[in-house]
Structure 1
Amino acid sequence: MSSPTVLVTGATGFVGRRLVPELVERGIDVRAMTRHPERYDGPGTAVGADVGDEESLAAALAGVDVAIYLVHSLDHADFESRDADAARRFGRLAAEAGVRQIVYLGGLGREDEDLSPHLRSRREVEGLLGAGGVPVTVLRAAIVVGHGGISWELTRQLVKNLPAMVVPKWTATRTQPIAVDDVIRYLAGVIDLEGAIGQVLEIGGPEAMTYRDMLDIASDVTAGHPVPTVTVPVLTPRLSSYWLALVTDVDVTTGRNLIDSMSTEVVVTDNRIRTLVPGEPISYREAVRRALAERLREGDEV
């Protein structure tokens, strides 16, 4: 099979700006979809389109073999309806354009859990993307660790700005963070991969840990010692989001939507991806080191 034409939505975002160069390096014809193509200076072919605009989206999808969907609206209070509308539209237009595979980066969490609005929305998007008939490959991840990622920025800024923390009890919930480098490797690896077509696959780093463990390790890598923490029994998502807004630059709406998900355990229970896309995943500690090193290379303080 000849090299596919791949459309990457959100090409200038946290994941997209890393994925496009990787695909181009692999010899893939990449269309980098952005709302502002005139500002795009990365590899691939810049394509101006918006998931909310049917005409521009249809033009972007014309002639595409595989579409990688990296869109979400966590910074909007009505993100569930916005994301559902966008996914429904994208899936329908992808089918009309003859796209043969959609790849979507979703969220971990067991099907029988009472999922948060954020994770529930990710599940809904999975189904809506495929409603038009295009097979969807879903990669479900927990926290993605890398410079510029919202969840990682929360962690980094907390351990940087606070000498000690009062933390809510949900910090004892287990999660399975994954390095952004591994996310890129898996996204690229499932393109046109027969065993991944139409499959829901779970991706994660090598260790499951609590959010408190994540804070301790991040602090240890950054400052050479774990940050002192005191757990309190009651700190609602609303109060937690205001607390985050005081000590980080993440806005209240995004912070609350993320925090709502942190009482749900999100760990990998299905390791099929390790067979489909072989390779040893990066440890959380190493992912933190890489995120901090990239930040320094860009001239920012750790």
Structure 2
Amino acid sequence: MRVLVTGATGFVGRRLVPALLDADHDVVALVRDASRYSGPDEAEVVEGDLLDAETLTPAMESVDAAYYLVHSMRSGGDFEARDRLAARNFVNAASAAGVERVVYLGGLGEERDRLSPHLRSRREVEHLLASGPYELTTLRAAIIVGAGSASFDMVRQLAKRLPVMVTPQWVETECQPIAISDVVAYLVGVLDHPETAGETYEIGGPDVLTYREMLQQVGTHLGHAPRIVPVPVLSPRLSSYWIDLVTDVDMDVARPLIEGLKNPVVVTDDRIRDIISVDDIPFDVAVERALVEERDETAISIEPATEVP
């Protein structure tokens, strides 16, 4: 199957591309700058930008299925408007090209819970993608644990830098994190199961934890468990300023993430487990793997270059 991956250089996309190749798919990686793409040589690289509709036609040529893994939160400002435009451009291009299947990785959260702007935007993108003539498969996930995940990175930095934390009540909100390798297994797996076309599934790991418990477990891996003191008057806005002070997570990323922590994100429908088998990695193990990968990447980045005579 010829498969297009949007967001191929992102946290999920750069892991999905090699997994799809291993599953014997022909992969087209959509990137903004091909000269900066460092993925597998076997992938066909096409330059394009979801915010520029005219650039998408070459990427969609002869594509059977496409993955939508793009969101604009890291770009700051009005990310909701950019997400909306990108989704509409994708729908139009995929529809015109006759793409048969689309797979979208969205966010968990019940709409009746007054979703945060970040989660609301993810759900709006889902609705826009569903307007196309192709068959859409949606996977909804909470925090994805792995090196390079913005939400996990925020948790890791807080657990590392603050032995004592004064936090808002969101630390008692429940979440069902999932390891990145399990997310990729689900994303690849749905293509092999035609019955998943047109369906929406919730995916999560085996553990349901509060954010307090996650912070404490990550802190233990880092050599200390932070002491957490919830304060009811600390608003999400103040929390984002606080995180900006004590971590290097960008404010434009931290604020929408923090606002989303008030929403419980727990799997209520696990039908997909009967269809696709994954390793079901516990949070503790996923954290250990993520921290090892981060250390390895850091070691590679600071290794001195070898001079060539």
TM-score (norm 1): 0.96
Cα separation, 2, equivalents of 1:86 and 1:279: 31
Cα separation, 2, equivalents of 1:296 and 1:251: 21
Aligned residue type for 1:202: E
Deviation at 1:295? 1.1
Cα separation, 2, equivalents of 1:28 and 1:198: 21
Answer yes or no: is 1:266 the counterpart of 2:245: no
Q: Name the residue aligned to 2:213.
A: 213
Cα separation, 2, equivalents of 1:249 and 1:218: 17
Contact 1:87 1:129 in 2 (8 A): yes
Aligned residue type for 1:114: R
Q: Name the residue aligned to 1:96.
A: 96
Moved over 6 A (4+): none
Instruction: Give the paired residue count.
Output: 297
Cα separation, 1, equivalents of 2:208 and 2:199: 23
In the TM superposition, what whole-angstrom CA distance separates every residue of 1:23-75 from its partner, at most 9, and x where no partner exists? 11111100111101122121111110100111211111111111000100113
Cα separation, 2, equivalents of 1:41 and 1:208: 35
Deviation at 1:216? 0.7
Cα separation, 1, equivalents of 2:225 and 2:170: 18
Deviation at 1:220? 1.1
In the TM superposition, what whole-angstrom CA distance separates every residue of 1:226-275 from its partner, at most 9, and x where no partner exists? 21111111111111111111111111121111111110111000011111
Cα separation, 2, equivalents of 1:189 and 1:127: 22
Contact 1:126 1:136 in 2 (8 A): no
Deviation at 1:113? 2.0
The SS at the match of 1:147 is: coil
In the TM superposition, what whole-angstrom CA distance separates every residue of 1:151-190 from its partner, at most 9, and x where no partner exists? 1110111111112111111110001000111111101111
Answer yes or no: is 1:87 the counterpart of 2:99: no
**Mapping of residues 238-257 of structure 1, within 5 Å:** 238-257=237-256
Q: Name the residue aligned to 1:233.
A: 232
Match of 1:12 among 9, 17, 29: 9
Cα separation, 2, equivalents of 1:115 and 1:299: 35
In the TM superposition, what whole-angstrom CA distance separates every residue of 1:105-162 from its partner, at most 9, and x where no partner exists? 0000123221111111111101111212122110000000100110111011111111
Q: Name the residue aligned to 1:157.
A: 157
The SS at the match of 1:10 is: coil
Answer yes or no: is 1:24 the counterpart of 2:21: yes
Q: Percent identity?
A: 53
Answer yes or no: is 1:50 the counterpart of 2:46: no
Cα separation, 2, equivalents of 1:28 and 1:197: 18
Answer yes or no: is 1:40 the counterpart of 2:37: yes
The root-mean-square deviation of aligned C-alpha atoms, in Å, is 1.3
Q: Name the residue aligned to 1:126.
A: 126
Cα separation, 1, equivalents of 2:278 and 2:149: 23
In the TM superposition, what whole-angstrom CA distance separates every residue of 1:182-203 from its partner, at most 9, and x where no partner exists? 1111011112521210111000
Contact 2:104 2:139 in 1 (8 A): yes
Cα separation, 1, equivalents of 2:233 and 2:275: 43
Contact 1:92 1:131 in 2 (8 A): no
Cα separation, 2, equivalents of 1:299 and 1:78: 32
Contact 1:175 1:267 in 2 (8 A): yes
Cα separation, 2, equivalents of 1:202 and 1:132: 21
Contact 1:95 1:133 in 2 (8 A): yes
Aligned residue type for 1:85: L
Aligned residue type for 2:116: S
Aligned residue type for 1:94: A
The SS at the match of 1:151 is: helix
In the TM superposition, what whole-angstrom CA distance separates every residue of 1:84-124 from its partner, at most 9, and x where no partner exists? 11101101210110101110000001232211111111111
Structure 2: stretches of 5+ with no match in the other structure: 302-309
The SS at the match of 2:63 is: coil
